[in-house]
Amino acid sequence: MPSVKRSLETRLPSLVAVAVAVAGAAAPTAAGAAQWSVQPDGSGDFPTIQAAVDGAVAGDEIILEDGLFTGSGNRDVILHGKDVIVRSRNGPTATTIDSQGQTGDPHRAFKIKDGETSAARIEGLTITGGFAEGLFPESGGGGILVAYGTHPTITNCVFTENESGFEGFGAGLLAWEDCDITLTDCVFSNNTSGWYGGGFTLRKYCDALVERCTVFGNWSLHAGGGASITRSNAIVNDCLFMDNETFEVDGGGVLVKAEAQPIFTRCVFAGNRAWAGGALGLGNLPNVTVIDCLFENNDAVSRGGAICLDQEPPVLTIWNSTFVNNRAPLFGGHIFQSGAASLTLRNCILGDYCDAPSAIFSSTSVVDIDCCVVVGGSAEVVTSGTSTVLWGADNVDADPMFCGPDPLGCDSDPEPTGDWTIDVLSPASPAINSCGRVGAYDIGCGATSAGATLETRSFGSLKALFRR
């Protein structure tokens, strides 16, 4: 593990507790289905998890009692096409599967590959100690491998300290080849990938619904420190990508490549690190949509503190998002784009950034920006080559008037700490501008001055305060 990767020992318990708290209740057992209990010491209805799966029928629940499950029969579990539920009695803080994998002796918790549907469910487990190696896809999915037309539901699980070895993908979870999955209320922490996707990877037509997941402190050698999405579509809602890192290329938080079409909504990207694109790295013809997201304190060694669009023209559309304190010493404190990439920003805040000469740098690309609050104005979009900037009439150069001070700023190690809600008189407020709410967050503070109220001041007078 690289020395730059910080320990999670002090913060992981609180993240797990959050995941447990927000997880939904277990789905009720189908009429006529059986429940089977498995104990870590081999007692219960079956001696091992695999024995319980072998003896169960579709719809049955296999309940893992509190404790640590290890050894043969409690790892490398295969569902054999059965739509069974494997869940803990009392959640991931109480029940752990430790696969005890290592180089030359690879093991993972589950391999789901025989056409299981969304009724197949893994729930409420901590999955650790997985190690994947071999020919792809065996080189991925140190915690769970999902493959070949399989569509399981995985919820309220913690994936921690799993690894995919040389040129491995998805240390926590790999979904490969037409294997649409539902992934909710999970934590991916401190997993390590030998190539892409430290936390999880969606690859080759593996569409996914990913909701309320925390992807924290993962690492990959090549790209996609937190996650990678390639040639797959994903709906990613209400997720946190924080403190992930990749070493060689781009996408400290998430790598999106190869015609993937994900939509990120209400996500936070904070404190992620990469050579380029601290939070997001895009390349090879993806089409990405970002809505209501925060990009804070992400760090690129070279370009694109928050986002890098490169490697054949990607398309990126960003709505109602906030960029603050991202860092890139060469180009694009917030965003770098090249190679005929297309970037559209609407109703966004581009606040302060660190080190770079400008907020956005564009080379041979198109930047279409309107209804945005850009600190520094149009001068913050720097171009070269044949780039085109479409600067809308409703952009504003003004202080966005965030509610909370940022206690770290550019001189501290990146962490998400700021309060980025806006003052009632902010130029990003829907009461002030003609574009509606601007940025990721609503009004959170502030009062009108001189005894006036928003209702008694004309729209024109308020608007004039923030226009040049």
Share of the chain above pLDDT 70, in %: 86
User: What is the Cα–Cα distance from 29 to 13, expressed in whole angstroms?
Assistant: 30
Q: At 456, is the pLDDT very low, low, confident or very high (cuts 50, 70, 90)?
A: very low
Most confident of the following: 6-20, 114-128, 165-179: 114-128
**Predicted pLDDT of residue 457:** 34
Q: Please, what is the average pLDDT of the chain?
A: 88
Q: Which amino acid is at 13?
A: P
Domains of the chain in sequence order: 60-464 (2.160.20)
- Residue-wise DSSP of 2-26: -TTSPP-TTTHHHHHHHHHHHPPPP
Phi, psi of 327 (to 5 degrees): -130, 130
pTM: 0.89
Tens digit of pLDDT for each residue in 275-323? 999 999 999 999 999 999 999 999 999 999 999 998 888 999 999 999 9
Q: Which residues are registered as beta bridge partners of 307?
A: 280, 335
User: What is the Cα–Cα distance from 420 to 283, expressed in whole angstroms?
Assistant: 29
- Is the pLDDT assigned to residue 78 strictly greater than 90? yes
Q: Which residues of 243-269 are buried (b: 16+ CB within 10 A; e: fewer)?
A: bbbbbebbbbbbbbbbebbbbbbbbbb
For the chain, the distance separating the N- and C-terminal CA atoms, rounded to the nearest angstrom, is: 51
Share of the chain above pLDDT 90, in %: 79
Tens digit of pLDDT for each residue in 365-376? 999 999 999 999
**Predicted pLDDT of residue 412:** 59
User: What is the Cα–Cα distance from 186 to 192, expressed in whole angstroms?
Assistant: 17
**Predicted pLDDT of residue 58:** 97
Q: At 201, is the pLDDT very low, low, confident or very high (cuts 50, 70, 90)?
A: very high
User: What is the Cα–Cα distance from 288 to 285, expressed in whole angstroms?
Assistant: 10
**Predicted pLDDT of residue 312:** 83
Mean pLDDT lowest among 45-49, 76-80, 256-260 = 256-260
Q: At 404, is the pLDDT very low, low, confident or very high (cuts 50, 70, 90)?
A: confident
Based on the number of CB atoms within 10 Å of its own CB, is 66 exposed (0-12), middle (13-18) or buried (19 or more)?
A: middle
Q: What are the CB-based long-range contacts (under 8 Å, 24+) for 10-15?
A: 11/216, 12/160, 12/187, 12/189, 12/190, 12/216, 15/187, 15/189, 15/214, 15/216
Q: Which amino acid is at 307?
A: I
* CA-closest candidate to residue 109, choices 80, 144, 140, 138: 144
Q: At 111, is the pLDDT very low, low, confident or very high (cuts 50, 70, 90)?
A: very high
